[in-house]
Amino acid sequence: EAGELADELEQSIYAVGGFVRDILMDTPNLDLDLVVEGDGIAFAQALGDKLGGRVRAHRKFQTAVIVLPDGQHIDVATARLEYYEYPAALPTVELSSIKMDLYRRDFTINALAVQLNKSQFGRLVDFFGAQRDIKNRVIRVLHSLSFVEDPTRILRAIRFAQRYSFQIGGQTERLIKNALGLGMMEKLSGSRLFNEMCLIFEEKTALACLRQMRDLRLLSAIHPMLTLSPAQEELLEEIEKVLEWYRLLYLNHAPRSWIIYFMALANGAKDEETQSLAERFNLTPKQINDFLALRKQLNQSIYHYKMWKHRKGPLSQLCFQLDELPVEGVLFFMSKFKQEATRRDLSQYLTRLKDAELDISGRDLQLAGLPEGPAYGEILKKVRAA
Ligand code: CTP
């Protein structure tokens, strides 16, 4: 549909970036990014109308997002024609705007486009050797100022390298070290850094990313507290296994992975040190509060769990205690305690008890003629315990 519409509007349209990269890598990717040579916002509005979606435009950046009825997003950007004046008598050249658009991107593997216009449908646009780099499994920047322009790309390089088991190219690695030597990491704002770290924590290979960050001296440049000690590595290995297990079970409610990783990275640190780490990442007061509260709650839960085990208490008691702990806390708890019995109790809680629904509700009590009041809560709690 996008191709037909672009034909009607006499514009060129391309799918770009990660979507194209992942087609070549045979990896699923549902995030469609489009680039229009023309007016991206007008195009997005017309395509939004055709597909019955809502469109949010950002005039300043000439971009728009189409939100489809099923909740999926399509990002639409505008590739502007740019004119390069050559000195002396040489003529002004008009560079193809898709080429300029791709040249501004982070790595060759992301600088790919596929044309969607009908007559050119499926034409792969690869100006910078992306196919060669995919074949050779390397992450390569497009120009030497890439990391200085945007230091978050250092973290992106590592994230893609670990996700696809690629190497970071030799020259690209030198440019990373250069940028670190120039103190680019220190200049990076806390919120952009936090954003990139969260993306890393969503990857299955988060620990490998952290190890590569340590080896490139990136972790210590972010905060001296981030040492990744052998004990932390061991804990992170468990976290990775537990998260993978949980993500497989509950595809629909993803835990806030960052909290779990932060708990591991700040494991054993005092509250002041943790506070300083949180400031480096520019966490909001709410995020800091959630984090510190979770850590405290977790210690209480561990204590209560041990008591419960010792006294051989009823399962319902464990259930009510763990209900006080957000799921991230339970997952961290599981990661920290490798004993099979503990893991069995906690996984039983997560899989069978936590979201168990009751056959009766307050409505049934109402229908039975019970006067409304605190007794409702008590009755329902007793049913749940039973
Ligand atoms: N991009 C960039 N520099 C950045 C961030 C993004 O050049 N710092 C470009 C890349 O070309 C990327 C595109 O913007 O392909 C879209 O960014 P994003 O959605 O973050 O990346 P994806 O490549 O889709 O990666 P992922 O698979 O992690 O979503």
In the reported structure, the alpha carbon of residue 17 is separated from the centroid of ligand 1 by a whole-number distance in angstroms of: 7
pLDDT tens profile 265-311:
998 888 888 999 999 999 999 999 888 889 999 999 999 999 999 99
Predicted structure pTM score: 0.89
| Mean local confidence (pLDDT), 67-83 | 87
Which residues in 214-229 are b (16+ Cβ under 10 Å) and which e? eebebbebbbeebebe
Percent of the chain past pLDDT 70, that is, above it, reads 95
| Backbone phi, psi, residue 103, to 5° | -65, -25
Ramachandran quadrant class, 123 (left: phi over 0; alpha: psi -120 to 50; beta: rest): beta
The residue whose CA is least distant from atom 12 of ligand 1 is: 17
Reported confidence tier of residue 86, pLDDT bands at 50, 70, 90:
low
User: Average model confidence (pLDDT) for the chain?
Assistant: 92
Q: What sign does the dihedral 350-233-189-145 (CA atoms) show?
A: negative
In the reported structure, the alpha carbon of residue 57 is separated from the centroid of ligand 1 by a whole-number distance in angstroms of: 19
Ligand 1 atom nearest the C-alpha of 106 is 7
The residue whose CA is least distant from atom 8 of ligand 1 is: 153
End-to-end CA distance of the chain: 56
Residue 87 pLDDT greater than 80, yes or no: no
Residue listed under structure tokens 């390298």 = 161
| Mean local confidence (pLDDT), 194-211 | 97
Neighbours of 315 (CB within 10 A): 14
Residue 85 pLDDT greater than 70, yes or no: no
Pocket of ligand 1 (CB under 6 A): 17-18, 31, 33, 105-106, 110, 150, 152-153, 156
Ligand 1 atom nearest the C-alpha of 160 is 28
| Backbone phi, psi, residue 26, to 5° | 60, 40
Q: What is the pLDDT of residue 80?
A: 76
The residue whose CA is least distant from atom 3 of ligand 1 is: 106
The residue whose CA is least distant from atom 16 of ligand 1 is: 17
Spatial separation of the C-alpha atoms in residues 193 and 166, rounded to whole Å: 23
Spatial separation of the C-alpha atoms in residues 215 and 213, rounded to whole Å: 5
Cβ–Cβ < 8 Å for 74, 82: no
Residue 90 pLDDT greater than 60, yes or no: no
Reported confidence tier of residue 352, pLDDT bands at 50, 70, 90:
confident
More confident residue, 214 or 86: 214
CA distance to 246, 321, 351, 352, per residue, from 316 (Å): 22, 9, 14, 12
Q: What is the pLDDT of residue 310?
A: 94
Above 0.85 for ipTM, yes or no? yes
Ligand 1 atom nearest the C-alpha of 21 is 23
Closest listed residue to residue 212, CA positions, set 176, 263, 259: 176
| Mean local confidence (pLDDT), 186-193 | 94
Q: What is the pLDDT of residue 272?
A: 86
The three-state secondary structure class of 228 is: coil
pLDDT tens profile 7-66:
999 999 999 999 999 999 999 888 999 999 989 999 999 999 999 999 999 998 899 999
In the reported structure, the alpha carbon of residue 111 is separated from the centroid of ligand 1 by a whole-number distance in angstroms of: 10
Any long-range contacts for 173-182 (C-beta under 8 Å, 24+ apart)? Answer: 173/216, 175/141, 175/144, 175/146, 175/147, 176/147, 176/216, 177/216, 178/147, 179/147, 179/148, 179/151, 179/154, 180/154, 180/216, 180/217, 180/218, 180/221, 182/148
| Mean local confidence (pLDDT), 104-110 | 96
In the reported structure, the alpha carbon of residue 88 is separated from the centroid of ligand 1 by a whole-number distance in angstroms of: 38
| Backbone phi, psi, residue 35, to 5° | -125, 130
